[in-house]
């Protein structure tokens, strides 16, 4: 039988925004027996320990995961794939291995290669900020957020229940989903907006090169639509390279919509342009209403 969360030793590998925020919730609310944090940089290790975010902090992966009941990998996606191979021989039988990566297909494929004695559950909490690193972490980050869980066919019901318990304990709402479906959906609502924001900043920068006054005029609309362009580049590069096909499909869909808008504007078809924009406005308002229920 799997232990309940309150009796578990939990190790979080990666103490950036997502990993450190999880540690803070677990430790401050006494949700488990022990919280350990693993980070590469000594400064982060010290900050995590002396701030009380973890009970134990180390830059040595082997020390950090020794005897853990739950190991949560909270690094960029391609690092997660590498870490799974590294930690596999070191974990005790029955250890729940989770991740917080933004794409799931490659991670879950790597989880399939874990020894049969380990219990893997992929995951992706649908929350975050454009700022990153330990200093951006905060307790309560997961409160009210959807936490996608992608168990494998081999994952035991007890292990899945423990993963759900962890997500629920920090205020998130666990949702089960297949990896490929998750990747297709987040390509549209997360990865495409990042590329749009990046392209928008480039377009405005090109205008600014000729007339710097554009930056004085930029206000709330530009700020809100370009916000995610400030996200961690390394993290998003990993995301894009591990979800290329789904992202390319979304770019094709976007291109089709932009082409239609360009055509209507070129033709001066005000009525059709109004209908298209009003349809977009209605869809956005309907989502906002559902989101705030």
**What integer pLDDT is reported at residue 131 of this predicted model?**
86
Task: Give long-range contacts, CB 8 A cutoff, 24+ apart: 44-48.
Answer: 44/15, 44/133, 44/134, 45/15, 47/134, 47/135, 48/15, 48/20, 48/23, 48/134
Total domains in the chain come to: 2
Q: Are residues 147 and 25 in the same domain?
A: yes
**What integer pLDDT is reported at residue 2 of this predicted model?**
76
Q: Which residues contact 106 (CB under 8 A, 6 or more apart)?
A: 77, 78, 81, 242
**What integer pLDDT is reported at residue 264 of this predicted model?**
97
Q: Which residues contact 135 (CB under 8 A, 6 or more apart)?
A: 47
Q: Where does the pLDDT of residue 290 fall: very low under 50, low under 70, confident under 90, or very high at 90 and above? A: confident
Closest CA to 8 of 166, 170, 171: 166
* CB 242 within 8 Å of CB 109: no
The answer to whether residue 67 scores a pLDDT higher than 70 is yes
The answer to whether residue 85 scores a pLDDT higher than 80 is yes
Q: Are residues 166 and 188 in the same domain?
A: no
Out of 123, 144, 177, pick the residue that ends a domain: 177
User: Burial letters for 109-134: b for 16+ Cβ neighbours within 10 Å, e otherwise?
Assistant: ebbeebeeebbbbbbbbbbbbeebeb
| Rounded Cα gap, residues 239 and 250, in angstroms | 14
Q: Are residues 158 and 28 in the same domain?
A: yes
The answer to whether residue 284 scores a pLDDT higher than 70 is yes
Q: Are residues 109 and 141 in the same domain?
A: yes
Domain holding 282, by residue range, is: 182-291
Q: Which helix (H) or strand (E) holds 175?
A: strand 173-176
Out of 154, 177, 200, pick the residue that ends a domain: 177
Q: Are residues 159 and 196 in the same domain?
A: no
Please give the average per-residue pLDDT across 181-186, as a whole number: 98
Q: Which residues contact 281 (CB under 8 A, 6 or more apart)?
A: none
Q: Where does the pLDDT of residue 240 fall: very low under 50, low under 70, confident under 90, or very high at 90 and above? A: very high
Q: Where are the alpha helices (DSSP H) in 144-191?
A: 157-169, 179-186
The answer to whether residue 1 scores a pLDDT higher than 70 is no
Q: Are residues 48 and 86 in the same domain?
A: yes
**CATH of residue 49:** 3.40.50.720
The answer to whether residue 178 scores a pLDDT higher than 90 is yes
* CB 109 within 8 Å of CB 152: no
**What integer pLDDT is reported at residue 130 of this predicted model?**
83
Q: Are residues 202 and 151 in the same domain?
A: no
What mean pLDDT value characterizes the chain? Answer: 96
Please give the average per-residue pLDDT across 228-257, as a whole number: 95
Q: Are residues 161 and 115 in the same domain?
A: yes
DSSP state of 141: T
Summarize pLDDT for 112-168 with one digit per residue, the tens. Answer: 999 999 999 999 999 988 888 999 999 999 999 999 999 999 999 999 999 999 999
């Amino acid at each position: 039988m799997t232990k309940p969360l309150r009796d578990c030793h939990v190790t979080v590998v990666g103490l950036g925004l997502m990993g450190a925020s999880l540690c803070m919730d677990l430790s401050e609310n006494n949700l488990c027996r022990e919280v350990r944090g693993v980070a590469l940089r000594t400064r982060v290790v010290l900050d995590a320990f002396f701030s009380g975010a973890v009970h134990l902090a180390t830059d040595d992966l082997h020390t950090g995961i020794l005897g853990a009941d739950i190991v949560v990998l909270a690094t960029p996606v391609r690092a997660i794939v590498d870490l799974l191979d590294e930690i596999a021989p070191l974990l005790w039988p029955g250890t729940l291995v989770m991740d917080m990566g933004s794409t799931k297909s490659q991670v879950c494929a790597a989880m399939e290669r874990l020894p049969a004695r380990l219990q893997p559950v992929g995951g992706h909490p649908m929350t975050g900020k454009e700022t990153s690193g330990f200093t951006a972490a905060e307790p309560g980050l997961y409160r009210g957020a959807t936490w996608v869980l992608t168990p494998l066919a081999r994952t035991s019901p007890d292990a899945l229940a423990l993963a759900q318990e962890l997500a629920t304990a920090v205020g998130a709402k666990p949702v089960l989903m297949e990896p490929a479906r998750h990747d297709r959906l987040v390509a549209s609502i997360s990865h495409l907006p990042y590329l749009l924001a990046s392209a928008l900043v480039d377009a405005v920068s090109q205008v600014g090169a000729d007339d710097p006054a554009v930056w004085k005029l930029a206000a709330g609309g530009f700020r809100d639509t370009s916000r995610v362009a400030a996200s961690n580049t390394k993290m998003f590069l990993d995301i894009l390279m591990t979800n290329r096909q789904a992202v390319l499909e979304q770019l094709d869909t976007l291109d089709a919509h932009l082409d239609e808008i360009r055509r209507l504007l070129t033709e001066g078809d005000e009525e059709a342009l109004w209908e298209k924009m009003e349809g977009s406005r209605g869809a956005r308002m309907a989502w906002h209403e559902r989101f705030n229920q």
